[in-house]
Amino acid sequence: MVRRLGAVAMRGMTRTPVLSACTAAACLAAAPLARAHVPDLPAGSTEVPWTFEPWIVCLLLLGSALYAAGLRNLWRRAGIHRGVSGWQAAAFAGGQLALVAALVSPLDALGTLLFSAHMVQHEILMVVAAPLLVIGRPLAVWAWGLPPRWRSGAGNAARLGPIAATWRLLTHPAVAWALHGVVLWAWHMPRLFEAALARPGVHTLQHTSFFASALLFWWAPLGSASRQGQGASMFYLFTTMVHTAALGALLTLSPALWYPAYASTSPAFGLDPLEDQQLGGLVMWVPAGLAYLAVGLALAARWLRDGGMARGSTLKMQTPGSGTK
């Protein structure tokens, strides 16, 4: 019974980023409904408010409550830490807190006033919240929080041919890597970035595409139940670290201002617009690069450990005189 329950949870992993991406997209899409893109601050004030957008807060609370209910049901049936471990549950909690920091805290409004704050927000979505949510396997746990009939219907729908084929395509490591790279570079083109600053709907699309493509990107190294393809995952992590560092370096070292929209708001915080851009470029260049490097090193260590264990098992199976004649 325990093995069967664990297998159900593992099968749910294959659909984890889909529901995570949908939840994030719904949260982000709600943002323009109740507030303008740039907050109205009193003259001379630099105090930025929290963004208590009701739809975002309600959806984050709903996701957390359903995860808690599912985890309780799963562990009640399978045993504590079976199917989904304690550290994976903690990773989900960390991912939810990262979403709160990016979408609810003053950082959300500050990102409309400072380019560097906007970069911090983007990196929290892409290299903190996304990988933590993938590790947490929320779909497997959320399914256990649903009534049995709903759980069965969701599983049957996910196994439909077109849906399954689309998911396999989007989660293919090369496809997810390319999609994430294109999204990252395209949205930092000055015309598209300025459009996101000027139009709330475009800004929502920007954040949604950043987060959704990041969920797909992190799926191969962190969410797949298979241990195969770890070498390819390390390659994709390394190349992503290189091209994001290149973009960060361009922003940091450029003598020209890429996004003039911040020229009128950054001086209120004691930053020249070009200094603000350089600081934002450094955020993308260094901390984000370290995140990719850390995951790559962890994968390398696991790859070496698994290879050593496999060789050890082979040696144990061999006995003196068991060689070929």
The rounded distance, in Å, linking the Cα atoms of 31 and 19 is: 19
Residues 6 or more apart in contact with residue 183 via CB below 8 angstroms: 209, 210, 213
Beta carbons of 20 and 97 less than 8 angstroms apart = no
Q: Is residue 313 part of a domain?
A: no
In this predicted structure, what is the pLDDT of residue 244? 95
pLDDT of residue 47: 75
- Note down the domain range covering 81: 2-39+47-152+168-308
Q: What pLDDT score does 174 carry?
A: 92
Query: What's the pLDDT score for residue 186?
Result: 97
Asked if the structure places residue 300 within a domain, the reply is yes
CA–CA separation, 13 vs 82, rounded Å? 14
Residue 172, classed as helix, strand or coil, is: coil
**Which DSSP letter does residue 54 get?**
H
Q: Assess if residue 82 is contained within a domain.
A: yes
pLDDT at 227 (0 to 100): 52
Query: Exposed/middle/buried for 200, CB within 10 Å: 0-12, 13-18, 19+?
Result: middle
* The predicted structure's pLDDT at residue 273: 94
Residues of the chain with pLDDT under 50: 1-37, 42-43, 226, 308-310, 313-315, 317, 319-320, 322-325
Residue 101 lies in a domain: yes
Let me know if residue 160 belongs to a domain.
no
List, for residues 39-66, the tens digit of each pLDDT value.
555 445 567 778 877 878 898 999 999 9
Please state, in angstroms and rounded to a whole number, the distance separating the CA atoms of residues 18 and 166. Answer: 11
Residue 205 within any structural domain of the chain: yes
Q: Which helix (H) or strand (E) holds 192?
A: helix 190-198
**Residue 161 belongs to a domain:** no
Q: Is the pTM of this model over 0.75?
A: yes
Distance CA 176, CA 280 (A): 25
- For residues 197 and 200, what is the distance between their CA atoms, to the nearest angstrom? 7
pLDDT at 54: 84
In a domain, 54, yes or no: yes
Q: What is the pLDDT of residue 9?
A: 46
Quick check: helix, strand or coil at residue 324?
coil
Question: Quick check: 137 and 91 in contact, CB under 8 A?
Answer: no
| Domains: count for the chain | 1
